């Protein structure tokens, strides 16, 4: 028995000596096999081994967002909108023409048309494009250029200034089309690409992340629900695509926060779901159907609640009611606090605006209000929201 233990001890000593020598002279031998694979599987990403560089002339591993860019970029176009020069309002005045003759008319003809540059996104094989309303507003001629060099004159299908969305159509075949992404699953921190034609230098792809969702009350549009991103967006990117890591459309780039005119890392995009709804309405009806009741609102403050001893703490204060508007006809008065619109709770002015806009025009809806110590439910005949007046 003693001899057996002696042999075992000697064998262990020799094995440890061999292991020490191998670990000192050939440590890579110990890093091969299943044990190494199991070790790597449990390493955090920051500690995972770095892939070795390929030999010269050999293709390397796919990196970055090249696949997403190749998939989305062909569907992003450059938009050139030309506007005729402003006409002199006195040009048709006989006395003006008597004193100045045809000089005013000749000067008018010599003036160059105003040209606006932007971007657009092809979303249909039928030739429908999405862009911004401010890119094509007031344009007399709209030209679209594809990445393959083809050019076409675009027809303005319709615009929605309140969301800053416009729909164009071109008559070309074999058009590259972008796929709509699912904006509902988009999260802060997700990687995104902004594709457009900044400063008319040519198509450009910039990368960033989603910085915030649901940005509103920025004073850019009437209806705001912006995706905020730090992907560089500059003048000329307006109307271009914001895409996810797979190259799917998640937004239409529309505005930047800047003090210099260039990108400061804060850009805003209209969610693709909103742009798609507006596009479908413009194609079908030529306008977007939104509800309207004709009220002016303010945020409900603790001072107002205390002064009028209201039994509620949330809602939207009605500060004014338009004469003969649906709200006035239903009995809504200044000082009322709206708490629900068609069963949907509202706490802010933006929520009230969106809830009313979602109502079907020319149909009744129940609006819950708090008037002093009384809770009322008023039946309102909703009207079509008037189109905004052009400045």
Catalytic residues, which ones?
A: 134, 164, 238
Q: Give 176's contacts (C-beta < 8 A, 6+ positions apart).
A: 74, 75, 122, 146, 147
- Residues 352 and 348: their CA atoms lie apart, in Å, by 6
Closest CA to 281 of 363, 160, 138: 160
* CA distances to 11, 113, 180, 331 from 295, in Å: 93, 41, 36, 12
- Residues 21 and 233: their CA atoms lie apart, in Å, by 59
Specify which residues 369 forms β-bridges with. Answer: 338, 376
- Residues 253 and 272: their CA atoms lie apart, in Å, by 10
Token pair of 48 as six digits = 């995972």
C-alpha angle 349-297-267 in degrees, rounded to nearest 5: 40
The answer to whether the CB of 339 falls within 8 A of the CB of 345 is: yes
> What percentage of the chain's residues is helix, strand, coil (to nearest 5)?
30, 30, 40
The answer to whether the CB of 296 falls within 8 A of the CB of 319 is: yes
């Amino acid at each position: 028995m003693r001899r057996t233990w002696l042999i075992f001890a000697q064998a262990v000593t020799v094995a440890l000596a061999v292991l020490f020598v191998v670990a000192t002279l050939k440590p890579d031998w110990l890093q091969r096999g299943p044990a190494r694979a199991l070790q790597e599987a449990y390493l955090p990403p920051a500690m995972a081994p770095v892939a070795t560089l390929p030999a010269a002339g050999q293709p390397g591993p796919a990196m970055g967002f090249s696949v997403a860019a190749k998939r989305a970029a062909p569907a992003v176009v450059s938009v050139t909108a030309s506007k005729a020069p402003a006409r002199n309002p006195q040009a048709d005045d006989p006395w003006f023409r008597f004193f100045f003759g045809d000089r005013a008319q000749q000067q008018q003809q010599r003036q160059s048309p105003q040209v606006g540059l932007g971007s657009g996104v092809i979303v249909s094989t039928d030739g429908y494009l999405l862009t911004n309303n401010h890119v094509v507003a007031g344009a007399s001629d709209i030209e679209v250029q594809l990445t393959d060099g083809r050019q076409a004159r675009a027809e303005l299908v319709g615009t929605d200034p309140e969301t800053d969305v416009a729909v164009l159509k071109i008559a070309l075949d074999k058009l590259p089309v972008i796929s709509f992404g699912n904006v509902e699953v988009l999260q802060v921190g997700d990687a995104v690409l902004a594709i457009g034609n900044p400063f008319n230098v040519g198509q450009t792809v910039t990368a960033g992340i989603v910085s915030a969702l649901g940005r509103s009350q920025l004073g850019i549009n009437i209806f705001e629900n912006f995706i905020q991103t730090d992907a560089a967006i500059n003048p000329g990117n307006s109307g271009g695509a914001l895409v996810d890591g797979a190259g799917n459309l998640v937004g239409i780039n529309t505005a930047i926060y800047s003090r210099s005119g260039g990108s400061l890392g804060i850009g805003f995009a209209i969610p693709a779901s909103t742009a798609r709804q507006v596009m479908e309405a413009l194609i079908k009806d030529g306008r977007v159907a939104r509800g309207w009741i004709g009220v002016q609102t303010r945020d409900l403050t603790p001072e107002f609640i205390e002064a009028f001893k209201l039994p509620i703490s949330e809602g939207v204060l009605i500060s004014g009611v338009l004469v003969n508007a649906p709200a006035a006809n239903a009995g809504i008065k200044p000082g009322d606090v709206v708490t629900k619109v068609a069963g949907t709770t509202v706490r802010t002015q933006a929520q009230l605006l969106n809830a009313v806009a979602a109502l079907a025009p020319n149909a009744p809806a129940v609006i819950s209000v708090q008037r002093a110590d009384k809770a009322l439910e008023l039946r309102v005949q909703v009207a079509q929201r008037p189109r905004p007046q052009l400045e």
